[in-house]
Amino acid sequence: RRSWAEPYKIKMVEPVKMTTRKDREKAISEAGYNTFLLRSGDVYIDLLTDSGTSAMSDRQWAGMMLGDEAYAGSRNYYNLEDAVRQFYGYKYLVPTHQGRAAEHLISKIMISDGDVIPGNMYFTTTRLHQELAGGTFADVIIDEAHDPENEHPFKGNVDLQKLEDLIKKHGPDRMPYVSIATAVNMAGGQPISLENLQQVRELTAEYDIPIIHDMTRVAENAYFIKKKEPGYADKSVAAIVRQICDLTDGATMSAKKDALVNIGGFLAVNDREVFEEARNLVVVYEGLHTYGGLAGRDMEAMALGIEESVQEDHIRARIGQVQYLGDKLIGWGIPVVRPIGSHGVFLDARKILPHLSQDQFPAQTLAAELYLDAGVRAMERGVVSAGRNTETGEHNYPDLELVRLTIPRRVYTQAHMDVVAESVAEVFANREKISGLNMIYEPKYLRFFQARFERA
């Protein structure tokens, strides 16, 4: 029995267009060699992101019919509140339309000008909202996380010495919270261990500094703890998720990932005052505090998605599919981030295109070439995503210059994974012929979403 065979069967299908190379040449040049600017109709296998792209279950679709669209006090809000309390343990809930909205609220409430927010590697929207609130992000992830080939099983871990040095340098008063992400996205979906999180908790507690948890992919992190951290093999993913959350003071959640919905997110905290401020602020930016920019039906689907996200068979199949693709590429000698992470396989564009400097945007180039080969859409996770240094205006040059093959949950089959692997192998075989790109349009914020390029 394939350990990762899916615990579900397909009831409805959504036909996708099979394009020709000629179609794709036209589409990618019109999209300025930016996969974010492609029409989904021109994409065969869409691995741009696992955000909002998962398939909902029949129970979630049924939940959409149970939307209580009252403006205030919707039944679905209380079902969502129950799910957050039961599965994550946080006391107070503020629903938002998606994750960055929760990041906006918590940053505005907890960060003051000149504050420093340590975190285990940056994430694009998280860091931007910290900066917009006047804070500066400081990376405290272990060095191994910046090395794509290092096989450390918990590359999401915090370097406690780096964190303590920062606390001593800036003082706890300049540190509104430590930002801890589970299944660290930009490192390649790399988990933090419970042991390390407990050590972070002990250290921050000494200085009374709260921990805010980016729990977007917490179930996947819990699965890695179950499989790799000594002492957890017999614990359920659900129990490990609770244990992780119980070591933190609050969380921002993009429910568009682990919680299996197409839109949704929330801020959840244990501190009553932070909650009251967030509940007040949410009506300014999102909507009344019992819907936060979501329809009742969305909150119902989210409550059900949270319950499904921690089911053993589901998470085993989800991670198993990612591992399947990763193992295939590793077997063919294609440089990818190791160990294989939570939500995708990350191609090492620097290693695949050593003849391109980061000023020629290797990851951006590789993502475009992959799309051209067979219509597989991936995402650039390199210097374009890293943006510019707010002081110098120079590019941030990250060690990790990656192309993310992000696997939506419960959407693609193993045959699709085989097509993706074969297409990556085809591009890899012709890598010497690939030339770089010039950026010809660069937006001010989160440039990777809308930047445009031309062939150098």
User: Is residue 13 within 8 Å of 372, Cβ to Cβ?
Assistant: no
- Verify whether residue 44 is a known catalytic residue: no
Catalytic residue among 217, 242, 297, 381: 381
249 forms part of the interface with ligand PLI (CB under 6 A) = no
Query: Shortest CA distance to 92 belongs to which of 219, 249, 244?
Result: 249
185 forms part of the interface with ligand PLI (CB under 6 A) = yes
Rounded least distance, CB 3 to ligand PLI, Å: 26
- Verify whether residue 452 is a known catalytic residue: no
- Verify whether residue 448 is a known catalytic residue: yes
Question: Strand ranges (DSSP E) for 246-401?
Answer: 250-254, 265-269, 344-348, 376-377, 379-381
Rounded least distance, CB 208 to ligand PLI, Å: 25
Binds ligand PLI (CB under 6 A): choice among 34, 35, 49, 365: 49
Binds ligand PLI (CB under 6 A): choice among 27, 38, 44, 51: 51
DSSP 8-state assignment for residue 56:
P
- Verify whether residue 272 is a known catalytic residue: no
Beta bridge partner(s), residue 76 = none
- Verify whether residue 59 is a known catalytic residue: no
Nearer to ligand PLI, 167 or 178 (CB): 178
Residue 363 tokens, joined: 């990851």
Cα radius of gyration rounded to whole Å, the chain: 21
| Cβ neighbourhood burial of 276 (10 Å; 0-12, 13-18, 19+) | middle
Binds ligand PLI (CB under 6 A): choice among 94, 109, 163, 181: 181
Beta bridge partner(s), residue 136 = 116
C-alpha distance from residue 205 to each of 107, 113, 409, 439 (Å): 20, 23, 36, 45
Nearer to ligand PLI, 182 or 423 (CB): 182
Catalytic residue among 71, 397, 441, 445: 71
Rounded least distance, CB 168 to ligand PLI, Å: 28
- Verify whether residue 71 is a known catalytic residue: yes
Report phi then psi at 6, rounded to 5.
Answer: -65, 140
Q: Which residues of 197-235 are buried (b: 16+ CB within 10 A; e: fewer)?
A: beebbebbeeeebbbbbbbbbbbbbbbbbbeebeebeeb
Nearer to ligand PLI, 265 or 382 (CB): 265
User: Is residue 297 within 8 Å of 308, Cβ to Cβ?
Assistant: no
Q: Give the integer Cα–Cα distance in Å for 317 and 338.
A: 20
Rounded least distance, CB 252 to ligand PLI, Å: 7
Q: Give the integer Cα–Cα distance in Å for 333 and 215.
A: 33
Residue 261 tokens, joined: 């919905």
Catalytic residue among 223, 275, 371, 448: 448
The residue type found at 169 is K
Residue span 304-343 as binding mask against ligand PLI, x where in contact by CB under 6 A, dash where not: ----------------------------------------
CB atoms within 10 A of CB 412: 18
- Verify whether residue 123 is a known catalytic residue: yes
Binds ligand PLI (CB under 6 A): choice among 54, 107, 248, 254: 254
Segment (H or E) for 46:
strand 45-46
Stretch of 93-101, 165-173, 395-403, 417-425 lying at the interface with ligand PLI (CB under 6 A):
93-101
Nearer to ligand PLI, 84 or 356 (CB): 84
Stretch of 96-104, 222-230, 273-281, 357-365 lying at the interface with ligand PLI (CB under 6 A):
96-104
Catalytic residue among 46, 159, 214, 348: 214
Segment (H or E) for 439:
strand 437-441
Report phi then psi at 324, rounded to 5.
Answer: -60, -50
Number of Cα atoms under 13 Å in the Cβ half of residue 121: 27
Nearer to ligand PLI, 33 or 123 (CB): 123
Residue span 208-227 as binding mask against ligand PLI, x where in contact by CB under 6 A, dash where not: ------x-x-----------
User: Is residue 97 within 8 Å of 299, Cβ to Cβ?
Assistant: no
Residues in the chain: 456
Stretch of 122-130, 198-206, 242-250, 305-313 lying at the interface with ligand PLI (CB under 6 A):
122-130
Residues 256-285 that bind ligand PLI (CB under 6 A): 256, 265
293 forms part of the interface with ligand PLI (CB under 6 A) = no
# chain residues binding ligand PLI, by CB under 6 A: 15
Catalytic residue among 127, 257, 316, 328: 257
Rounded least distance, CB 96 to ligand PLI, Å: 9
Residues involved in catalysis: 71, 123-124, 214, 257, 381, 448
Q: Give contact residues for ligand PLI (rule: CB under 6 A).
A: 49, 51, 98-100, 123, 125-126, 181, 185, 214, 216, 254, 256, 265
